[in-house]
Structure 1
Amino acid sequence: MSHPGDPTLDRADALFDVGRYEQAAALAAQHLATDPLDATALVLLARCQHRLGRAEEAFDSIETALLAEPDALPSWLMRTHILLALKKYEEAERSARHSVELAPDYWGSHYALGTVLDRSSRKERQREAYEAARRAVSLAPGESAAHFLVGLTAHRVGNHRVAEQAYETALRLDPQSSEAHNNLSLLQLRRRWFRRGAWTKAAAGFVESAALDTNDRQARYNLEAMAWGTVAGARWVALLGFVGAALGSAPLRTGASGGDALVPYLIGVAVVVGGWGAWALWLTRRVPARLRRPLLLVARGCRPVIAMGVAVGLLGLHSVVAMALWTVDASVVGALGYPLFWGVVITYWVSRAALRRRAPASERAG
C-alpha cells in the first residue's frame, strides 16, 4: 500500500511485506509520534503487533484506529482477526458481521465472517461458514485464501469432494500454501485404503507443507503419525515371525530329527524371511526414495516412533536368532521371547497414547 507523501509508512509497509515486523512497527510508531490518530498507521502497527504475537497491544492499536475512523473497513477486519487470536469469538463474530454490513460486495468481509464461524462447534454455524466462504469465492475467484476457506469449511461438514477440489484450486493459485498442502494430504490419507497411491501422495503433501513452513507443527505431527503407523504396522510381521520361529524350531529343540524336524524348521524360516521380505518390498513401493529421508528425520526426533521401532526390531531380531541358534534350550529362548512379545503389544498402546499427546492444538480440518 502506497502512502503519498509519507516515505516512513511506505518503508514500514515494505518491511512488513518481507516479514520484518519489529522494524515495521518501529517505523509506524515513529510516524504516530507526530500523528497519533492516523488510522492507516494504527492499522499497520496493529498488524505488526498481531504477527509478533502481541495481541493485547494490537487490540489497543486497532481500537484507537476505530476512534479516529469509526467506519474504516480495514480496521474492522483487523479487529476481527485480533479478537480471534484472543479467542473472543462472540465479539469477533459481531466485528465480522459489521464488516459485511460495511462492504457486502468485498470478498474479505465474507472471508472474515466465514473464518470466525468456522471456529464454532455447532454444525449450523459451520454450514453458515461454508456459505460465507462460497460468497467470498464468487466475489474473488482468484483469491487462494477464499478457496482454501471453502475447502476447510466443506471439510468440516464432511463434503470431502468439494473440499478436495477447493484445496486443489487454492494450490493452483498459490502453490506455496502450506495449509492447503496439509489439508489436501489429510483428505488423501483418509482414502488410503480406497485409492492407489493415496498414502504416498499424502506423505508428499505433508513433506511439502513442512518444508514451506518450518514452524508448522501440524504438518510435522502428521508426518510423525505416518512414520509411527508404518512402524506399528510391522508389529504384525514381528509377531507372526515370533510364532513361526517358535513353532518351526520347537522339534529341533526337543530332539526330533529327519523330516519331522526339517520340514517345520524350513516352514519357520520361510515365515520369518518371507514375512520381513514382503514387508520390506511393500515399504519400498509405498514410500518412494524422495520421501524416505524426511520420514526418517521425523522418526528420529519422535520418541513414540523410536519406542515402537525398538520394540518391533527386538522381537524381529529374536525370531532370526531363535531360528539360527536352534540348539539353544527352549526355556532360554522363551525367557527372552515372551517379554519381547508382550513388550510389542504394550508399547503399541503406550506409544500410541504418547503420540496423540504430541498433537498440536490446531484450527485446521481433520
Structure 2
Amino acid sequence: MSTGTHPALERADALYELRRYDEARTVLGQRLAEDPEDVRALVRLARCHLRLENQAEMALEAAERALALAPEDVPALIQRAHALRAVGRFPETEGVLREVIRIDPGYWLGYAMLGDWLWRIKAYRYGRETGGRLPGGIPQVFLDESGEFAKEAIRLAPEEVFPYEVAWLIADMAGNRTVADQLDQAILRLDPNHAGALARRTEKAAAAPGVKAAEAATLYADALAASPHSASLQQGLDHASYRLLRGVRWIALLSLALAGVLLDLWTKDGQVPRELPVSLGQRLWYFAPVGALWAVGALLRYRRLRTGVRYNLRSLIHRRRWPRIVLGQAAWAVLCALVISQVPWSERTVPRIVFWVGLVPTLATIWFDRKKTT
C-alpha cells in the first residue's frame, strides 16, 4: 500500500481543481494500474466519479475498495457517504458519518455533514414510514440534533464557512430570523463574496420600508459586483430595474392628464370650458411642465443611476417582455397626449376618445404587472 504523495496524485489534484474530472480519472486509473492498493488514489477516484454523470455506482465501488484496505480512513468514509447519497441510499449515510465522528472526533467536516444531512434523513424516514409528507414543515425535534452537530462543527472550525451555512439553514427552517441574520454576518465576515449570504442581506435591505426602486437597484448592483454569478441577486436587480421602468409610465400618464387639462376635457357643472381651438402659444406652453416632468422624473433620475443599473435597464428591455410592454404603453400614452395637446381641435369629442384610448390600456395593467419582470 502506498503511503506517500505520488506525482500522479498531484497531477490528478491539479486536473480536478481545473474541473477536468475525466482527465483526472484517467490519471488515477493509470496510477491504480501500477499500485491497486493506493488508498489515496482510490479516494480521489471516487471523488472524480461523483463529478461525472451516471458514475455514482463506480464512485461507491472505489470508496468501498479504499475502505477494504483501510477501514478507518476518514476521507474514504466521507466519499462513501457522498456516493451512498448519490445512488439513492441516503439513510445509510448517517451511520457512515457517525463513524467518521467516532474515528476522528476533532474533524469538523464530519459534524457539519451530519448536521446538514441528519434532519433530511429523519424527514425521509418519516415519509417512508407514514407514506405522507411532514405536516407544517420540518418539526423542531428533527432539527435539534442537527443544530447541535452544526454548533460543534463551528466550535472546531470557526474559520470554515460550511458549518455556518449548515447552522443558517437549520435556523432558517426553525424560523429563527435573529440567529439566521447573525449567521449571515458571520458567513460574510469569512467570505465577503458569499453568494447566498450576500443575496439574503441585500434582499433584506432592499425590502426595508421606505427603500425606493433606485436605492434597491443600487444595493443589488453593488452586491452583484462582489458576486457576479448570483442568480438571486440578478433577479433582484431585474425587479428593482422594472420598478424604475414602471415609474416612467406614471410620468406618461401625468403628461396625458395635463393634455386633458389643457383642453378642459372635463369641467364641473356651471364651469365654462375654455374656448377651442386652444391658441398656438398655449399648445406650445404645454411642453414646459411636461418637459420638466420628464427631465426630473426620468432623464435626471436615469443619469444619477449607477452605471451597472443603467446597463441592466437596457439589458432588461432586451431580455424581458413586460419591460417592453411598459415602455410601449408609456410611449402610447405620450403619443395620445401629443395628439390631444398639439392638434387645434375645434370640439372635444375626439380628444376625449383619444384620452381614454391612451389611458385605459395602461391603467388596466398598472396594478396587475407590479411584480412582472418577464
User: Is TM > 0.5 for Structure 1 vs Structure 2?
Assistant: yes
- Assess if the C-alpha contact under 8 Å between 1:137 and 1:146 holds in 2: yes
Q: 1:278 aligns with which of 257, 275, 297?
A: 297
Q: 1:224 aligns with which of 238, 248, 253?
A: 238
Change (3 A) 1:109 1:322: farther
Q: Which residue of 1 aligns with 2:153?
A: 136
Q: 1:205 aligns with which of 220, 223, 240?
A: 223
The CA distance in 1 between the partners of 2:338 and 2:61, in whole Å, is: 69
Q: 1:150 aligns with which of 157, 167, 180?
A: 167
The one-letter code matched in structure 1 to 2:203 is: L
Deviation at 1:79, TM superposition (A): 3.6
Q: Which residue of 2 aligns with 1:359?
A: none
Q: 1:289 aligns with which of 296, 303, 307?
A: 307
Q: Which residue of 2 aligns with 1:72?
A: 73
Q: Which residue of 2 aligns with 1:46?
A: 46
Q: How does 1:334-349 map to 2 (within 5 A)?
A: 334=355, 336-338=357-359, 340-341=361-362, 344-345=365-366, 348=369
Deviation at 1:297, TM superposition (A): 6.0
Deviation at 1:177, TM superposition (A): 3.2
Any idea what SS the aligned residue of 2:72 has? coil
Q: 1:177 aligns with which of 185, 194, 209?
A: 194
The CA distance in 2 between the partners of 1:250 and 1:117, in whole Å, is: 72
Q: How does 1:1-366 map to 2 (within 5 A)?
A: 4=4, 6-54=6-54, 56=56, 57-82=58-83, 89-117=90-118, 121-124=137-140, 125-126=142-143, 128-191=145-208, 193=210, 200-210=218-228, 213=229, 216-232=230-246, 234-239=248-253, 241-242=255-256, 244-245=257-258, 247-251=260-264, 256-257=273-274, 270=289, 273-274=292-293, 277-278=296-297, 287-293=305-311, 295-296=312-313, 298-300=315-317, 302-318=319-335, 320-322=337-339, 324-327=341-344, 329-330=350-351, 333-334=354-355, 336-338=357-359, 340-341=361-362, 344-345=365-366, 348=369, 352=372, 355=374
- Assess if the C-alpha contact under 8 Å between 2:161 and 2:187 holds in 1: yes
The one-letter code matched in structure 2 to 1:33 is: A
Deviation at 1:277, TM superposition (A): 3.0
Aligned CA-pair RMSD? 4.3
Deviation at 1:113, TM superposition (A): 1.9
- Assess if the C-alpha contact under 8 Å between 1:220 and 1:298 holds in 2: no
Deviation at 1:112, TM superposition (A): 0.8
| Count of matched residue positions in the alignment of Structure 1 and Structure 2 | 344
| 1:137-194, Cα deviation, whole Å (9 max, x unpaired) | 1111111333333344434434444333433333333344333333332333343647
The structure with the largest alpha-carbon Rg is: 2
Structure 2 portions without partners, runs of 5+: 124-136
Change (3 A) 1:275 1:177: same
Structure 1 portions without partners, runs of 5+: 356-366
| 1:1-26, Cα deviation, whole Å (9 max, x unpaired) | x9725211121112223433232222
The one-letter code matched in structure 2 to 1:6 is: H
Deviation at 1:201, TM superposition (A): 2.7
Q: TM-score, normalised on structure 1?
A: 0.72
The CA distance in 2 between the partners of 1:42 and 1:109, in whole Å, is: 20
Change (3 A) 1:75 1:231: farther
Worse-matched range after superposition: 132-141 or 77-86? 77-86
The CA distance in 2 between the partners of 1:240 and 1:127, in whole Å, is: 57
Q: In percent, how many aligned pairs have the same letter?
A: 26
Q: TM-score, normalised on structure 2?
A: 0.71
Any idea what SS the aligned residue of 1:104 has? coil
